[in-house]
Structure 1
Amino acid sequence: MNTIFVTEAVMLAIYGQLLVPPKPVEYIIPYTTILELYELINSDEPLMHSISDDQHVRNKISELIQYFEEPLNKKKIDRALQVPWAKSPSIPMGEKTLVTIMNAVDHAPYGELFDPVETEVLAAAQRLEAPVLTDQYELIQRIISASVPVQVFDIEDFDYALDDY
Protein backbone atom coordinates (compact mmCIF):
# COMPACT_ATOMS: atom_id res chain seq x y z
CA MET A 1 0.00 0.00 0.00
CA ASN A 2 1.30 3.43 -0.96
CA THR A 3 1.54 6.40 1.36
CA ILE A 4 -0.44 9.22 -0.25
CA PHE A 5 0.35 12.94 -0.18
CA VAL A 6 -1.25 15.87 -1.98
CA THR A 7 1.33 18.31 -3.32
CA GLU A 8 2.16 20.64 -6.17
CA ALA A 9 4.00 19.40 -9.26
CA VAL A 10 6.85 21.88 -8.76
CA MET A 11 7.72 20.20 -5.44
CA LEU A 12 8.71 17.07 -7.39
CA ALA A 13 11.05 19.15 -9.56
CA ILE A 14 12.63 21.06 -6.70
CA TYR A 15 12.97 18.22 -4.22
CA GLY A 16 14.42 15.21 -6.01
CA GLN A 17 14.35 13.13 -2.83
CA LEU A 18 10.57 12.97 -3.16
CA LEU A 19 11.06 10.77 -6.23
CA VAL A 20 13.27 8.24 -4.41
CA PRO A 21 11.45 7.57 -1.14
CA PRO A 22 12.39 4.69 1.15
CA LYS A 23 8.92 3.18 0.75
CA PRO A 24 6.12 3.39 -1.88
CA VAL A 25 4.56 6.82 -2.21
CA GLU A 26 1.77 8.21 -4.37
CA TYR A 27 1.54 11.94 -4.96
CA ILE A 28 -1.81 13.42 -5.87
CA ILE A 29 -1.17 16.49 -8.01
CA PRO A 30 -3.97 18.94 -8.87
CA TYR A 31 -3.83 19.57 -12.62
CA THR A 32 -3.50 23.35 -12.24
CA THR A 33 -0.13 22.80 -10.55
CA ILE A 34 1.09 21.20 -13.79
CA LEU A 35 0.00 24.34 -15.62
CA GLU A 36 2.08 26.33 -13.14
CA LEU A 37 5.18 24.47 -14.36
CA TYR A 38 4.81 26.17 -17.74
CA GLU A 39 4.50 29.58 -16.06
CA LEU A 40 7.57 28.95 -13.90
CA ILE A 41 9.74 27.76 -16.77
CA ASN A 42 8.84 30.83 -18.84
CA SER A 43 9.25 33.30 -15.98
CA ASP A 44 12.20 35.68 -15.86
CA GLU A 45 12.01 35.76 -12.05
CA PRO A 46 14.60 33.58 -10.32
CA LEU A 47 13.18 30.40 -8.77
CA MET A 48 16.17 29.82 -6.51
CA HIS A 49 18.72 32.06 -4.81
CA SER A 50 21.83 30.93 -6.68
CA ILE A 51 22.17 30.95 -10.44
CA SER A 52 23.35 27.32 -10.57
CA ASP A 53 20.45 26.12 -8.37
CA ASP A 54 18.01 28.14 -10.46
CA GLN A 55 19.28 26.57 -13.69
CA HIS A 56 19.16 23.08 -12.14
CA VAL A 57 15.54 23.55 -11.02
CA ARG A 58 14.55 24.94 -14.42
CA ASN A 59 16.10 21.86 -16.06
CA LYS A 60 14.16 19.57 -13.69
CA ILE A 61 10.93 21.46 -14.40
CA SER A 62 11.56 21.05 -18.15
CA GLU A 63 12.16 17.31 -17.66
CA LEU A 64 8.94 16.98 -15.65
CA ILE A 65 6.96 18.87 -18.32
CA GLN A 66 8.41 16.60 -21.02
CA TYR A 67 7.56 13.52 -18.98
CA PHE A 68 3.96 14.62 -18.52
CA GLU A 69 3.75 15.39 -22.26
CA GLU A 70 4.83 11.88 -23.31
CA PRO A 71 1.91 10.34 -25.23
CA LEU A 72 0.89 7.69 -22.69
CA ASN A 73 1.16 10.10 -19.74
CA LYS A 74 -0.66 12.85 -21.63
CA LYS A 75 -3.45 10.41 -22.45
CA LYS A 76 -3.78 9.47 -18.78
CA ILE A 77 -3.88 13.14 -17.74
CA ASP A 78 -6.41 14.04 -20.45
CA ARG A 79 -8.74 11.29 -19.17
CA ALA A 80 -8.80 12.91 -15.74
CA LEU A 81 -9.71 16.28 -17.22
CA GLN A 82 -13.04 15.03 -18.54
CA VAL A 83 -14.83 15.13 -15.17
CA PRO A 84 -14.38 17.34 -12.09
CA TRP A 85 -12.55 15.54 -9.29
CA ALA A 86 -11.57 12.65 -11.56
CA LYS A 87 -8.14 11.12 -11.06
CA SER A 88 -5.83 9.92 -13.80
CA PRO A 89 -4.49 6.40 -13.83
CA SER A 90 -1.22 6.35 -11.90
CA ILE A 91 1.90 7.56 -13.68
CA PRO A 92 5.10 5.88 -12.49
CA MET A 93 7.89 8.33 -11.62
CA GLY A 94 10.35 5.88 -10.11
CA GLU A 95 10.61 2.45 -8.54
CA LYS A 96 8.54 3.44 -5.51
CA THR A 97 6.86 6.61 -6.74
CA LEU A 98 3.55 7.13 -8.49
CA VAL A 99 1.88 10.38 -9.50
CA THR A 100 -1.85 10.70 -9.97
CA ILE A 101 -3.26 13.86 -11.53
CA MET A 102 -6.54 15.10 -10.11
CA ASN A 103 -8.91 17.45 -11.86
CA ALA A 104 -9.47 19.41 -8.66
CA VAL A 105 -11.98 22.23 -8.65
CA ASP A 106 -11.45 25.51 -6.83
CA HIS A 107 -14.72 26.15 -5.10
CA ALA A 108 -13.28 28.93 -2.89
CA PRO A 109 -14.35 27.62 0.53
CA TYR A 110 -11.63 29.64 2.24
CA GLY A 111 -12.21 33.07 0.71
CA GLU A 112 -9.22 35.35 0.59
CA LEU A 113 -6.91 33.21 2.76
CA PHE A 114 -5.68 30.93 -0.03
CA ASP A 115 -5.04 31.41 -3.74
CA PRO A 116 -6.89 29.16 -6.22
CA VAL A 117 -4.06 26.60 -6.50
CA GLU A 118 -3.69 26.37 -2.72
CA THR A 119 -7.45 25.95 -2.43
CA GLU A 120 -7.36 23.07 -4.92
CA VAL A 121 -4.53 21.39 -3.00
CA LEU A 122 -6.51 21.73 0.25
CA ALA A 123 -9.76 20.58 -1.32
CA ALA A 124 -8.04 17.52 -2.83
CA ALA A 125 -6.43 16.70 0.53
CA GLN A 126 -9.79 16.95 2.29
CA ARG A 127 -11.56 14.89 -0.36
CA LEU A 128 -8.94 12.13 -0.18
CA GLU A 129 -8.24 12.48 3.55
CA ALA A 130 -4.56 12.70 2.65
CA PRO A 131 -1.93 15.05 4.08
CA VAL A 132 -0.53 18.02 2.21
CA LEU A 133 3.22 18.12 1.55
CA THR A 134 4.69 21.59 0.99
CA ASP A 135 7.80 23.71 1.46
CA GLN A 136 5.83 26.90 2.06
CA TYR A 137 6.06 27.82 5.73
CA GLU A 138 3.51 30.64 5.28
CA LEU A 139 1.00 28.22 3.76
CA ILE A 140 1.42 25.84 6.69
CA GLN A 141 0.81 28.72 9.10
CA ARG A 142 -2.33 29.84 7.22
CA ILE A 143 -3.68 26.27 7.20
CA ILE A 144 -3.22 26.07 10.95
CA SER A 145 -4.62 29.57 11.59
CA ALA A 146 -7.70 28.89 9.46
CA SER A 147 -8.25 25.49 11.15
CA VAL A 148 -8.43 23.78 7.77
CA PRO A 149 -9.18 20.11 8.50
CA VAL A 150 -6.12 18.64 6.76
CA GLN A 151 -2.83 17.34 8.00
CA VAL A 152 0.16 19.20 6.57
CA PHE A 153 3.85 18.34 6.51
CA ASP A 154 6.82 20.47 5.65
CA ILE A 155 8.98 18.77 3.02
CA GLU A 156 11.87 18.87 5.48
CA ASP A 157 9.79 16.48 7.61
CA PHE A 158 9.16 14.11 4.70
CA ASP A 159 10.87 11.13 6.34
CA TYR A 160 8.87 11.70 9.52
CA ALA A 161 5.67 11.95 7.49
CA LEU A 162 6.44 8.61 5.85
CA ASP A 163 6.96 7.01 9.26
CA ASP A 164 3.69 8.53 10.46
CA TYR A 165 1.70 6.78 7.72
Structure 2
Amino acid sequence: MSRQFVTEAVMMAIYGQLLVPAEPVEYLVPYTTVLELYELKDSSEPLMNHPEDERHVKEKIAELISYFEEPLNQKKLRRCLNMPWSKSPSILVGERARITVVNGVDNAAYGELFDPIETELLLASQRENAPILTDQLELIQRIIEGGVPVQVYDIDDFEYAMEEEPFRSH
Protein backbone atom coordinates (compact mmCIF):
# COMPACT_ATOMS: atom_id res chain seq x y z
CA MET A 1 0.00 0.00 0.00
CA SER A 2 1.31 3.43 -0.88
CA ARG A 3 1.63 6.38 1.46
CA GLN A 4 -0.55 9.39 0.62
CA PHE A 5 0.18 13.10 0.90
CA VAL A 6 -1.78 16.17 -0.13
CA THR A 7 0.43 18.72 -1.86
CA GLU A 8 0.62 21.29 -4.64
CA ALA A 9 1.62 20.36 -8.19
CA VAL A 10 4.53 22.84 -8.14
CA MET A 11 6.16 20.82 -5.34
CA MET A 12 6.79 18.05 -7.90
CA ALA A 13 8.80 20.50 -10.01
CA ILE A 14 10.71 22.15 -7.18
CA TYR A 15 11.52 19.01 -5.18
CA GLY A 16 12.61 16.25 -7.52
CA GLN A 17 13.12 13.82 -4.63
CA LEU A 18 9.32 13.56 -4.38
CA LEU A 19 9.33 11.75 -7.71
CA VAL A 20 11.86 9.12 -6.60
CA PRO A 21 10.68 7.99 -3.16
CA ALA A 22 12.08 4.86 -1.52
CA GLU A 23 8.55 3.49 -1.05
CA PRO A 24 5.37 3.85 -3.13
CA VAL A 25 3.63 7.20 -2.64
CA GLU A 26 0.50 8.84 -3.97
CA TYR A 27 0.26 12.63 -4.10
CA LEU A 28 -3.25 14.04 -3.90
CA VAL A 29 -3.05 17.32 -5.79
CA PRO A 30 -5.90 19.86 -6.03
CA TYR A 31 -6.73 20.64 -9.66
CA THR A 32 -6.32 24.38 -9.03
CA THR A 33 -2.64 23.77 -8.28
CA VAL A 34 -2.26 22.08 -11.68
CA LEU A 35 -3.73 25.22 -13.28
CA GLU A 36 -1.36 27.31 -11.16
CA LEU A 37 1.59 25.67 -12.98
CA TYR A 38 0.72 27.69 -16.10
CA GLU A 39 0.78 30.93 -14.12
CA LEU A 40 4.07 30.05 -12.43
CA LYS A 41 5.71 29.09 -15.73
CA ASP A 42 4.97 32.48 -17.26
CA SER A 43 5.39 34.58 -14.13
CA SER A 44 8.21 37.07 -13.79
CA GLU A 45 7.97 36.63 -10.00
CA PRO A 46 10.93 34.44 -8.97
CA LEU A 47 10.26 31.06 -7.35
CA MET A 48 13.88 30.46 -6.39
CA ASN A 49 16.68 32.63 -5.01
CA HIS A 50 19.36 31.71 -7.56
CA PRO A 51 19.02 32.22 -11.33
CA GLU A 52 20.26 28.68 -12.11
CA ASP A 53 17.71 27.17 -9.72
CA GLU A 54 15.00 29.41 -11.17
CA ARG A 55 15.80 28.25 -14.71
CA HIS A 56 15.81 24.61 -13.61
CA VAL A 57 12.47 24.87 -11.78
CA LYS A 58 10.83 26.68 -14.72
CA GLU A 59 12.05 23.85 -17.00
CA LYS A 60 10.62 21.26 -14.60
CA ILE A 61 7.31 23.13 -14.45
CA ALA A 62 7.17 23.15 -18.27
CA GLU A 63 7.96 19.40 -18.31
CA LEU A 64 5.21 18.70 -15.78
CA ILE A 65 2.72 20.76 -17.80
CA SER A 66 3.68 18.83 -20.94
CA TYR A 67 3.26 15.57 -19.06
CA PHE A 68 -0.21 16.56 -17.85
CA GLU A 69 -1.10 17.59 -21.43
CA GLU A 70 -0.26 14.17 -22.90
CA PRO A 71 -3.52 12.73 -24.26
CA LEU A 72 -3.92 9.88 -21.75
CA ASN A 73 -3.06 12.09 -18.77
CA GLN A 74 -5.29 14.88 -20.05
CA LYS A 75 -8.16 12.39 -20.33
CA LYS A 76 -7.53 11.30 -16.72
CA LEU A 77 -7.56 14.92 -15.54
CA ARG A 78 -10.83 15.67 -17.33
CA ARG A 79 -12.53 12.73 -15.62
CA CYS A 80 -12.25 14.37 -12.21
CA LEU A 81 -13.75 17.67 -13.37
CA ASN A 82 -17.31 16.36 -13.69
CA MET A 83 -18.13 16.26 -9.98
CA PRO A 84 -16.96 18.21 -6.93
CA TRP A 85 -14.34 16.36 -4.90
CA SER A 86 -13.96 13.59 -7.45
CA LYS A 87 -10.49 12.20 -8.10
CA SER A 88 -8.71 11.44 -11.33
CA PRO A 89 -7.30 8.00 -12.05
CA SER A 90 -3.67 7.92 -10.91
CA ILE A 91 -1.01 9.40 -13.16
CA LEU A 92 2.37 7.72 -12.80
CA VAL A 93 5.26 10.17 -12.41
CA GLY A 94 7.99 7.74 -11.48
CA GLU A 95 8.54 4.11 -10.61
CA ARG A 96 7.00 4.51 -7.16
CA ALA A 97 5.26 7.90 -7.38
CA ARG A 98 1.83 8.76 -8.72
CA ILE A 99 -0.38 11.81 -8.74
CA THR A 100 -4.13 11.76 -8.23
CA VAL A 101 -5.77 15.07 -9.03
CA VAL A 102 -8.62 16.14 -6.76
CA ASN A 103 -11.35 18.48 -7.99
CA GLY A 104 -11.70 20.49 -4.78
CA VAL A 105 -14.34 23.16 -5.04
CA ASP A 106 -15.15 24.44 -1.56
CA ASN A 107 -12.49 27.02 -0.88
CA ALA A 108 -14.26 29.32 1.58
CA ALA A 109 -14.35 26.99 4.58
CA TYR A 110 -11.43 28.60 6.39
CA GLY A 111 -12.21 32.17 5.42
CA GLU A 112 -9.53 34.74 5.99
CA LEU A 113 -6.91 32.53 7.66
CA PHE A 114 -6.06 30.63 4.46
CA ASP A 115 -6.14 31.47 0.76
CA PRO A 116 -8.33 29.36 -1.59
CA ILE A 117 -5.55 26.93 -2.58
CA GLU A 118 -4.46 26.47 1.04
CA THR A 119 -8.10 25.82 1.95
CA GLU A 120 -8.35 23.17 -0.78
CA LEU A 121 -5.21 21.51 0.61
CA LEU A 122 -6.74 21.50 4.11
CA LEU A 123 -10.09 20.14 2.96
CA ALA A 124 -8.49 17.47 0.76
CA SER A 125 -6.31 16.44 3.71
CA GLN A 126 -9.37 16.14 5.94
CA ARG A 127 -11.48 14.30 3.33
CA GLU A 128 -8.73 11.81 2.49
CA ASN A 129 -7.14 11.52 5.95
CA ALA A 130 -3.79 12.26 4.34
CA PRO A 131 -1.13 14.65 5.67
CA ILE A 132 -0.17 17.83 3.86
CA LEU A 133 3.36 18.11 2.48
CA THR A 134 4.53 21.72 2.00
CA ASP A 135 7.58 23.94 1.97
CA GLN A 136 5.66 26.93 3.37
CA LEU A 137 6.65 27.29 7.01
CA GLU A 138 4.15 30.10 7.55
CA LEU A 139 1.33 27.80 6.36
CA ILE A 140 2.45 25.13 8.82
CA GLN A 141 2.47 27.73 11.58
CA ARG A 142 -1.04 28.97 10.70
CA ILE A 143 -2.35 25.37 10.62
CA ILE A 144 -0.94 24.75 14.10
CA GLU A 145 -2.07 28.10 15.52
CA GLY A 146 -5.52 27.72 13.97
CA GLY A 147 -5.96 24.24 15.44
CA VAL A 148 -6.87 22.83 12.02
CA PRO A 149 -7.31 19.06 12.41
CA VAL A 150 -4.79 17.94 9.79
CA GLN A 151 -1.33 16.47 9.90
CA VAL A 152 1.30 18.55 8.11
CA TYR A 153 4.96 17.96 7.25
CA ASP A 154 7.66 20.29 6.04
CA ILE A 155 8.97 18.99 2.73
CA ASP A 156 12.46 18.77 4.28
CA ASP A 157 11.00 16.06 6.55
CA PHE A 158 9.73 13.99 3.61
CA GLU A 159 11.78 10.89 4.47
CA TYR A 160 10.60 11.05 8.08
CA ALA A 161 6.98 11.54 6.93
CA MET A 162 7.27 8.43 4.76
CA GLU A 163 8.23 6.39 7.85
CA GLU A 164 5.51 7.78 10.12
CA GLU A 165 2.29 5.91 10.79
CA PRO A 166 -0.58 7.59 8.96
CA PHE A 167 -2.65 9.92 11.13
CA ARG A 168 -6.33 9.01 11.42
CA SER A 169 -8.71 11.63 12.75
CA HIS A 170 -11.63 9.21 13.09
TM-score by length of structure 1 reads 0.99
**In structure 1, how many angstroms separate the alpha carbons of the residues matched to 2:156 and 2:46?**
22
SS at match of 2:83: coil
**In structure 1, how many angstroms separate the alpha carbons of the residues matched to 2:109 and 2:95?**
37
**In structure 2, how many angstroms separate the alpha carbons of the residues matched to 1:8 and 1:22?**
20
Contact 2:68/2:74 (<8 A) preserved: yes
User: What is the CA distance between 1:163 and its match in structure 2?
Assistant: 0.4
Residue 60 (1) aligns with residue 57 (2): no
User: What is the CA distance between 1:39 and its match in structure 2?
Assistant: 0.5
User: What is the CA distance between 1:106 and its match in structure 2?
Assistant: 2.6
Residue 9 (1) aligns with residue 9 (2): yes
5+ residue gaps, structure 2: 166-170
**In structure 2, how many angstroms separate the alpha carbons of the residues matched to 1:98 and 1:37?**
17
| Residues 107 and 55 of structure 1, relative CA distance in 2, 3 Å threshold | closer
What is the identity percentage for the equivalent residue pairs of Structure 1 and Structure 2?
65
5+ residue gaps, structure 1: none
Aligned residue in 1 for 2:142: 142
Contact 1:106/1:117 (<8 A) preserved: no
SS at match of 1:94: coil
SS at match of 2:4: strand
- One-letter code aligned to 1:32: T
**In structure 1, how many angstroms separate the alpha carbons of the residues matched to 2:80 and 2:45?**
31
**In structure 2, how many angstroms separate the alpha carbons of the residues matched to 1:39 and 1:107?**
19
Aligned residue in 1 for 2:105: 105
TM-score by length of structure 2 reads 0.96
**In structure 2, how many angstroms separate the alpha carbons of the residues matched to 1:47 and 1:151?**
25
Aligned residue in 2 for 1:31: 31
Contact 2:107/2:117 (<8 A) preserved: no
User: What is the CA distance between 1:107 and its match in structure 2?
Assistant: 3.7
**In structure 2, how many angstroms separate the alpha carbons of the residues matched to 1:124 and 1:111?**
16
Aligned residue in 1 for 2:168: none
Aligned residue in 1 for 2:123: 123
**In structure 2, how many angstroms separate the alpha carbons of the residues matched to 1:133 and 1:157?**
9
* Residues matched between the structures, number: 165
**In structure 1, how many angstroms separate the alpha carbons of the residues matched to 2:107 and 2:34?**
19
**In structure 2, how many angstroms separate the alpha carbons of the residues matched to 1:138 and 1:132?**
14
Aligned residue in 2 for 1:70: 70
How well do the aligned residues superpose, as a CA RMSD in angstroms?
Answer: 0.6
Show structure 1 runs of 4+ deviating over 4 A. Answer: none
More deviation in 60-69 or 97-106? Answer: 97-106
Summarize the alignment of residues 38-57 of structure 1 with structure 2, pairs less than 5 Å apart.
38-57=38-57
SS at match of 1:119: helix
